[in-house]
């Protein structure tokens, strides 16, 4: 392709929108309730990416299903009668492309007991509840039945960390990928660590929510409440918008096929770059360009 033709083609394309964070970005309200965990009352701890490594310099630990985050700047505690309301900077949509139909994930600091320490064999789940509700406008709330905020599945920060690792792994899990809802606590109890890790399948864990099951097309606000009669305080680490399954031609992974993807393909034009070889013929050429433009969004 001639350079002039490429320049003209790029100039005719719409500009690429700035990427949005997949995590909750603002605290709307926080009331700690009557019995929050001491020191865990920094509401902003529930914003941004959930914790992958905890303990600071004195008790360093990779976050695994057996080692939850535990620092005061990593979690916010919601005591009896308390609530936390957070918002995303965009609408979290019910998207049929999302893995398992899950659209939203809530991360607490639940963890497994170990039936054969330190092998990483779950013996039971230690979790502290929390009632989830979601809203499109921050006024009308829809409860999420049967799913606890601080519950299953415990957060897992690394694909390659051992159950009690004291150093970060090399391969982070995906906090925007849910666990298969068919997998339950009972599925993991008594299983070896290798099987547990397989069930996570690259996910960072958390409680997955399908908006379609609530009759909603999108939400922007999430609320977690704890009953006034609760004996435990729920701890929250984060909220994430699930990333849809990759589209063929979505070379930058932003969920659409646009000018950024075209730029990546054109930069690899004439090479054998596998990521841009959409038709699998061993070369990045006109066939790949045609395939990308055919799925333009």
* pLDDT tens figures, 206-249: 999 999 999 999 999 999 999 999 999 999 999 999 998 767 78
Report the CATH number of the 3-16+248-294 domain.
1.10.1330.10
Quick one: pLDDT at residue 10?
45
pLDDT at 255: 67
**Which pLDDT belongs to residue 1?**
47
Quote the tokens at residue 110: 């639940």
Question: Do residues 260 and 252 lie in contact, with contact meaning Cβ atoms separated by under 8 Å?
Answer: yes
pLDDT at 276: 85
Taking alpha carbons only, the member of 191, 187, 23, 201 closest to residue 104 is 23
Contact 97, 103 (CB under 8 A): no
Domains of the chain, residue spans: 3-16+248-294, 26-241
Q: What pLDDT is stored for residue 251 in this prediction?
A: 83
Instruction: Report pLDDT for 185.
Output: 97
pLDDT at 119: 96
pLDDT beneath 50: ranges in the chain: 1, 3-18
Task: Write the CB contacts of 241 (distance below 8 Å, at least 6 apart in sequence).
Answer: 22, 23, 88, 90, 92, 103, 104, 176
């Amino acid at each position: 392709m001639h350079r002039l033709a490429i320049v003209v083609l790029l100039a005719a394309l719409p500009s690429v929108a700035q990427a949005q964070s997949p995590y909750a970005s603002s605290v709307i309200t926080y009331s700690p309730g009557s019995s929050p965990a001491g020191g865990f009352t920094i509401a902003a701890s529930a914003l941004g990416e959930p914790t992958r490594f905890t303990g600071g310099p004195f008790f360093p630990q990779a976050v695994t299903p057996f080692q939850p985050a535990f620092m005061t700047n990593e979690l916010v505690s919601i005591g009896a009668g308390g609530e936390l309301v957070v918002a995303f900077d965009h609408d979290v949509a019910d998207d049929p492309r999302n893995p398992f139909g899950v659209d939203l994930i809530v991360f607490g600091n639940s963890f497994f007991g170990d039936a054969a320490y330190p092998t990483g064999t779950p013996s039971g789940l230690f979790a502290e509840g929390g009632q989830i509700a979601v809203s499109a406008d921050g006024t009308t709330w829809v409860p999420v039945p049967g799913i606890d905020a601080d519950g299953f599945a415990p957060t897992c920060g690394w694909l390659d960390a051992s159950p009690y690792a004291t150093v970060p792994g090399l391969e982070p899990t995906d906090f925007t990928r849910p666990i298969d809802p068919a997998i339950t606590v009972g599925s993991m109890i008594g299983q070896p660590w290798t099987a547990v890790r397989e069930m996570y399948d690259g996910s960072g864990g958390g409680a997955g929510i399908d908006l379609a099951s609530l009759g909603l097309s999108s939400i922007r606000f999430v609320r977690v409440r704890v009953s006034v009669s609760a004996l435990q305080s729920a701890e929250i680490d984060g909220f994430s918008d699930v990333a849809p399954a990759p589209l063929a031609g979505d070379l930058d992974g932003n969920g659409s096929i646009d000018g950024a993807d075209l730029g990546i393909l054109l930069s690899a034009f004439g090479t054998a770059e596998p990521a841009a070889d959409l038709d699998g013929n061993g070369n990045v050429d006109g066939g790949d360009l045609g395939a990308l433009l055919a799925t333009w969004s």
